[in-house]
Structure 1
């Protein structure tokens, strides 16, 4: 009796393993099929283009080429820029801003904010004709910062010295080994102030605000989407549906046009749709996706 019971258990385990590997084989076959047959050419027919600016903003020539391609594509009737970024390089953000404004000179551009659209992310957002934020979006952080690490005191304690030979007093400043000289501090503060003036002037121009009003908001602090709406840094609350509604009301863009993520290849788009279909939302991936301001209780650890 015991032998028969063990045999039944083993067969059940074997069936489960076979079923698991069959499912894996089917999934792999579907992925292979999508990769082999999915079209690699451009979108045919009218559509709304969407580009996502995500993570730390760095210089990205390919992204700039994609944005320029939207301006040249007659099928692209509008552009939605979705931002989920804490910012990044000032120059990289400036490049994004100008590239998007070139599109806006030809066709309407809406900006939607995710969890984060701060600092350089907000510079990028200013390029849009209409800015939409979520109520709990973190945005703002209008300002410029330069940081460096000073380890000179630590090196003195462990008996390590540093020597420098330079062509001028300010060459190689700051070097991280010696305190920043007052002369160098003034030079770098001047650079920060100049970049800050550029940033605040851009905000004043794009948001139709007085410069003094902008500078009162531009002390480096961040704002929620609701706060940004009340102080004039964004236009509306919402996301893609609200952006589509605005495109229809203000520019007559058909709301039934497909939204195409032009910064992803056709294969990537099909693969994502496939994964969404078979996986859906699970407690595991919802935990992994938590970011920004989190609405849950967390006790102090002390």
Structure 2
């Protein structure tokens, strides 16, 4: 009987020791990853990757409001980078997001010599981004322009009528939440939307006219919503030079007194190793490795929910899309 009691006590001690070392392993792993996170934090990464170099910034895909991007560009303002080359390949996005990015690049340009390279496409909001720079370089086959504003919304009123569904609503005034897509758009609602689009379009046109030094006649040639190839765009004053990154750097050397042969290093605008996403993932892996998988799954779920919340393209659009595109 005494022997059985000793075995039980030993097992309990062993279990406590195992739990202790599991917890200790997790804490050590998290501590080590935190140190790596600090070293590779946005501020630390900026110092490591841009000091004494030309920073390469990539703007790709749909442009929407992004506070992380604003803060990343603010860090770049105060970094040791000698200059900035902004590569753009974007069909645009929301007018608010494009304006935010334009303002961020304008502030950055006040601190660092900055040039834009159009890789494949700088249309609508992508072109708003490009004209923040004093010099725009594009390849001959690049597409630029699409100066215009769009407001789209689905209208399913005919479909609802077909299936016998009617949406009832009580609202404070006729134009509240109009158009709603559940009923035919009233002339008053269409007029209100038209005023919004025209006001944003006037802002876009004025920005292009000012930044590209165009007169009214020149502006009319390019402000009808079309895109132009790089070869066409240079004669229309939409860009300044045909070429690639080498041409852009040559312009910086010649016009902005940037030292020749400086290395060009990528500067990421989206958080990676130094953000909470990395730490969250690493912590999840560490917990999983020591048998605490349930906690790990909860951490991963929190990350996925945050990522899903970031997708959305609401509001007025400065966006170019070829006819028939998806």
Alpha-carbon offset, residue 267 of structure 1: 6.7
**Alpha-carbon offset, residue 266 of structure 1:** 9.2
Residues 1:108 and 1:221: Cα distance change in structure 2 (over 3 Å): same
Equivalent position of 2:197 in the other structure: 192
Tell me what 1:51 maps to.
57
Q: Does 1:103 align with 2:95?
A: no
In the TM superposition, what are the counterparts of 1:55-94 in structure 2 within 5 Å?
Answer: 55-73=61-79, 75-94=80-99
State the partner residue of 2:277.
none
Give, in whole Å, the separation in 2 of the partners of 1:207 and 1:256: 29
How many residues are paired up?
233
Give 1:211 shift. Answer: 3.1
Distance in structure 1 (CA, Å) of the matches to 2:217 and 2:178: 33
Partner SS for 2:140: coil
Measure, in 2, the Cα distance between the counterparts of 1:198 and 1:249: 33
| 1:176 and 2:176 are equivalent in the alignment | no
- Written as runs of structure 1 = structure 2, the 5 A alignment for 1:213-252 is 213-252=218-257
Q: What SS class does the counterpart of residue 118 from structure 2 fall into?
A: strand
Q: Relative contact order, CA 8 A, sep 6+: which one is greater?
A: 2
* Residue 239 of structure 1, CA deviation: 1.5
SS state of the match for residue 127, structure 2?
helix
Does the CA-based 8 Å contact 1:201-1:211 persist in structure 2? Answer: no
TM-score (norm 2): 0.68
Number of the residue aligned with 1:157:
162
Corresponding residue number in structure 2 for 1:9 = none
Contact 2:218–2:236 under 8 Å retained in 1 = no
What residue number does 1:274 align with? none
Find the aligned partners of 1:55 and 1:108 in 2 and give their Cα distance: 24
Equivalence for 1:262: 267
Instruction: Structure 1 unaligned segments of length 5 or more: list them.
Output: 1-35, 269-302
Contact 2:56 2:86 in 1 (8 A): yes
* Alpha carbons 2:156, 2:182 under 8 Å: kept: yes
Residues 151 and 69 (structure 1 numbering): CA distance in 2 closer, same or farther, change over 3 Å? same
Whether the 8 Å CA contact 2:138–2:242 is kept in 1: the answer is: yes
Report the secondary structure of 1:116's partner residue. strand
Asked if the contact 1:130/1:235 (under 8 Å) is kept, the reply is: yes
Output the aligned Cα RMSD: 2.2
8 Å contact kept, 2:64–2:97: yes
Question: Aligned with 2:177: secondary structure?
Answer: coil
Distance 2:72 2:273 in 1: 17
Deviation at 1:56, TM superposition (A): 0.3
In 2, the alpha carbon distance for the partners of 1:54 and 1:241 equals 20
Indicate how the Cα distance of structure 1 residues 208 and 68 shifts in structure 2: closer, same or farther if over 3 A, else same: same
Output the TM-score relative to the length of structure 1: 0.73
